[in-house]
Chain A
Amino acid sequence: MEALGSSDCNLEILETLSDDAIQEITESYDGFFTTVESLISGTGDSSVEDEFVSQVYCLCKYGLDSLVRDHFLRSLEQAFEKGGASSFWQHFDAYSEKKLTNYGEEIQVVLCKALEEISVEKQYHEKCLSIVVHALQSYKEQSSVDRQTSDTERVHLFSRFQSMLSSTLMTTLPQHFPEILHWYFKERLEELSAIMDGEQEDDCMDLDEKLRYKNGEMDVDEGYSQGKRLGHDKLVKNIGKVVRDLRSIGFTSMAENAYASAIFLLLKAKVHDLAGDDYRTSVLESIKEWIQTVPLQFLNALLSYLGDSVSYGTTSSDLTSPLACCPSPSFSKVVTPSEGIVRWKLRLEYFAYETLQDLRIAKLFEIIVDYPESSPAIEDLKQCLEYTGQHSKLVESFISSLKYRLLTAGASTNDILHQYVSTIKALRAIDPAGVFLEAVGEPIRDYLRGRKDTIKCIVTMLTDGSGGNANGSGNPGDSLLEELMRDEENQENVGFDDDFHTDDKQAWLNASRWEPDPVEADPLKGSLSQRKVDILGMLVDIIGSKEQLVNEYRVMLAEKLLNKTDYDIDTEIRTVELLKIHFGEASMQRCEIMLNDLIDSKRVNTNIKKASQTGAELRENELSVDTLTSTILSTNFWPPIQDEPLELPGPIDKLLSDYANRYHEIKTPRKLLWKKNLGTVKLELQFEDRALQFTVSPTHAAIIMQFQEKKSWTYKDLAAVIGIPIDALNRRVNFWISKGVLKESTGANSDSNVLTLVESITDSGKNEGEEELLTGEEESETSIASVEDQLHKEMTIYEKFIMGMLTNFGGMALERIHNTLKMFCVADPSYDKSLQQLQSFLSGLVSEEKLEFRDGMYLLKK
């Protein structure tokens, strides 16, 4: 018996068998075959079963129990393959050709039906299997002492059956079935979501209650929205049934994949739907709420329906606390059901954060464009990034969109600067330490340094605040002036922080507040303390030094002040005060003097008027002193002013010299020196048929006044009388020609061209529109030498040095020229220019074709 029972069939056993035994085996073997067949096909009645059991006994007696198992399973497999599996798949054959999107409603029915059928078949097979198991067991019980094997027998056989079943199905799996499943769950979830959305409106339970509610404690809120609840429960039950059936045929992971991906898809769609292109509202909360109400409730219901939550719970509680080997029953009962859900919740929320983050990062450029309005979106993004930690993604994508959309030749410097400022502000909100800002700001700064008008734009942004300079509609500068003011408010604290901390307590506080840099920080770029996020500082950083910025501002201020006729400088004073706070009193000294000049001028002007009030009656052609006002400058402190000689007509000249004399009387021994070409003149041209008012420069006025006596002038004569060069005259005259006041008639050569006054409007056949362009050009002329011109003038001293250097050394790189100049030009005037200034000067020389620039080296042009 022992020999026969052993599993290895050595052939000697065959010889020990008697003929009778062989006869018996053969008979029962045949009988076994037929009974198995009839049993599986279900054709026989209860007698078949009995016969089957006896055959099994007989075979087992000869140690052929493994044969019994193998054959039985093999026949089951064949039967299942022929019947269950193929008919199951047949249900879905009709859909093999269709695309994912249009399976239609009936698929639900088909799926349910198919699953139903296959479950029935499976149950039948299981019943057959249990007969075998039973037979084997009872045989063993009779013959063996080893009782424990009985249950393993069962488990073993059923698991073999299960894997046989699912492998059969898997091998015949049509390609489109996962899609069908996916589609099914998607449809059901959408349906569910719709139900939930409707429910949400009249649902004001808090979440705890909801969870308890879903966990089956129906008695708590039984009467509550029963109808919808029923619909919802039914739906969940249906889905649960499908999932359970799928599991039972071994599709556990496929089913889970399908509903997980359906949930994620739905969540993604929801996020996209909620977030959209509206950056003015925060969506994170509503997304979280939605996760809580729709997918989580669904999962909760599903898992509790499947009875899974408990098993989830036990495994996870084992995982989380290996020390707590036997948790108190009440404890585990409360906590465990939610464990699986908690995992799902974390998964879903992470997914939502990631989706929203990707969505926002992709649109970050637009979000920053309308930054102050879009701050809710920024806030969302910040929260998402806190969870996902994918800051580097943000930096990369934002830099590439900056390069593609902002840092191009087509974008105006103003726009770039404005975007830069918004970027600083927005990223400051996301990351107060400024680590990512540094990475993002780098390309913008580099690009801006290459633009010529950057300084000018920055200064304009700084100063053209809300103060109402006429040309600014929707002025982007407001934000920067605001920034200045904000700085002013913070000034006290900053000053305190920057000072030495004599107080130990304060030092301790600072030390305890220290936080390490985020891991993404570039260690090469200094530590947190140096990386103060300061917009003005970052702007100044673009320019290179605050001196350059202040210089540029001074030029702009001068221009502005010279054009003032009403001494109203309140806004300028304010701006200068703010800049003073930021850049220090010393560097703004000259600007202050300029403002002071204006204030003094106002005072002097009233004094002079008062003094001349007593003057005699005006004679013919004389002008009242009241028409004259003046701005008196302390020239040394103003930027170089373009002085142009100009002969003013007699009456005006007299007026000016009278004024100057009065000044001398009041302020002895000081004297006035007129800059006759500067200023503004408001005049009226009185023609026979009309009167025209203009506000022009003194030069223009001088020109037109010459036509009072004489109706036509040649350019040459007019230039001589007014005392300006002919080309300068040409430019000025264009203004009057464009206004239709003067007319040009060609003479023999260009010098003898004659200008004639257009006395009445009928003589003027002017096309006004065309000439407007010329005026625009004229308007842009400035009286202050621009910073570039000044720089150029200062740099020309070094031109000889540079030329000599290049003759001696051949080609030299920018840095080397800079260093050499620094080394050798120490005497009067010492070389104090920055690298950028030198670079722009050199590129000027290149464009003048004096130098050549090749491979980063400057060479003499041959």
Chain B
Amino acid sequence: MKVKILRWHAVASWTWDAQDETCGICRMAFDGCCPDCKLPGDDCPLIWGACNHAFHLHCILKWVNSQTSQAHCPMCRREWQFKE
């Protein structure tokens, strides 16, 4: 007997490949979204800093913009630079 697959509909879940579970700023799950967003995923992406800490893009932007001088990573206090 041979089995011929005509169609395979699979189910998967996506995840940001971050080391941590939740965003250090808003304490929401990375795989969820920041408090200002409604839809997770593309609409509320993650961003890594040079220090390898990840945050919701919207969260870290808010943080960076609120700092008068050079912003620091909220987690490790190093100068905040977006990872290339």
Contacts and interface: CB of A to CB of B under 8 A. Distances in A.
Given A636-B29, A678-B11, A679-B8, A593 B3 contact: no
A671 B29 contact: no
A652 B5 contact: yes
Given A681-B7, A708-B2, A632 B12 contact: yes
A630 B11 contact: yes
Interface string A593-606: 10010001000000
A693 B7 CA distance: 11
Contacts of A630: 9-12
Contacts of A633: 11-14
B13 A634 contact: yes
A629 B10 contact: yes
B31 A635 contact: yes
Nearest to B28: A636
A684 interface: yes
Contacts of B35: none
A633 B15 CA distance: 9
A113 to B, nearest CB: 96
Contacts of A167: none
Interface string B1-32: 11111111111111111100000000001011
Nearest to A759: B1
Given A704-B3, A708-B3, A656 B16 contact: no
Nearest to A626: B7
Given A630-B12, A634-B32, 4 more contacts: A592-B39, A669-B18, A674-B12, A685-B2
Contacts of B41: 600, 634, 670
A54 B83 CA distance: 149
A631 interface: yes
A631 B14 contact: no
Contacts of B40: 593, 634, 636-637
B82 to A, nearest CB: 14
A714 interface: no
Contacts of B48: 669
A39 interface: no
Chain A, interface residues (CB within 8 Å), range: 35 or more
Given A592-B38, A707-B1, A656 B11 contact: no
Contacts of A663: 14
A636 B39 CA distance: 11
Interface in A660-685: 660, 663, 667, 669-676, 678-685
Contact of A676 (B4, B10, B39): B10
A632 B2 contact: no
B12 A683 contact: no
A544 interface: no
Nearest to B16: A670
B12 A672 contact: yes
A689 B18 CA distance: 53
A631 B9 contact: yes
Given A589-B38, A670-B16, A634 B31 contact: yes
B84 to A, nearest CB: 13
Contact of B32 (A636, A660, A698, A705): A636
Contacts of B59: none
A682 B15 contact: no
A681 B39 CA distance: 29
A672 B10 CA distance: 11
A192 interface: no
Nearest to A600: B41
Contacts, number: 140
Contacts of A637: 32, 40
Interface string A752-774: 00000101000000000000000
Interface of A: 562, 565, 589, 592-593, 596, 600, 623, 627-637, 652, 655-656, 659-660, 663, 667, 669-676, 678-688, 693, 698, 701, 704-705, 707-708, 757, 759
A693 B6 contact: yes
A656 B32 contact: no
Contacts of B31: 634-636
A633 B9 CA distance: 13
B6 A683 contact: yes
Interface of B: 1-18, 29, 31-32, 38-42, 46, 48
A245 B63 CA distance: 109
A315 to B, nearest CB: 80
A633 B14 CA distance: 6
A623 to B, nearest CB: 6
B3 A685 contact: yes
B4 A671 contact: no
Contacts of A659: 10
B19 to A, nearest CB: 11
A652 B6 CA distance: 12
A684 B1 contact: no
A631 B11 contact: yes
Contacts of A708: 1-3
Given A631-B9, A637-B40, A669 B16 contact: yes
Contacts of A596: 39
A670 B3 contact: no
A387 to B, nearest CB: 56
Indicate the member of B3, B16, B41, B46 with the most A CB atoms within 10 Å: B3
Contacts of A671: 14-17
A592 B39 CA distance: 8
Given A636-B40, A637-B32, A685-B1, A627 B17 contact: no
A635 B5 CA distance: 27
A133 B12 CA distance: 119
Contacts of B11: 562, 630-631, 633, 674-675, 678-679
Contacts of B46: 669
Given A634-B31, A670-B15, A679 B9 contact: yes
B5 A687 contact: no
Nearest to A638: B13
B17 A669 contact: yes
Contacts of B38: 589, 592-593
A678 B3 contact: no
Contacts of A684: 3-4, 6
Contacts of A628: 8-10
B8 A631 contact: no
Given A701-B5, A707-B1, A600 B42 contact: yes
A632 B9 contact: no
A527 to B, nearest CB: 38
Contacts of B3: 683-686, 701, 704-705, 708
Contacts of A680: 7, 9
Contact of B7 (A592, A629, A669, A676): A629
B15 to A, nearest CB: 6
A564 to B, nearest CB: 8
Q: Which 5 A-B pairs have the closest CB atoms?
A: A678-B11, A565-B9, A635-B13, A682-B7, A682-B6
B6 A627 contact: yes
Nearest to B4: A684
B52 to A, nearest CB: 12
A643 to B, nearest CB: 10
A687 to B, nearest CB: 5
A594 to B, nearest CB: 11
Contacts of B8: 623, 627-629, 652, 655, 679, 681-682, 698, 701
A441 B8 CA distance: 49
Nearest to B3: A705
Contacts of B1: 685-688, 707-708, 757, 759
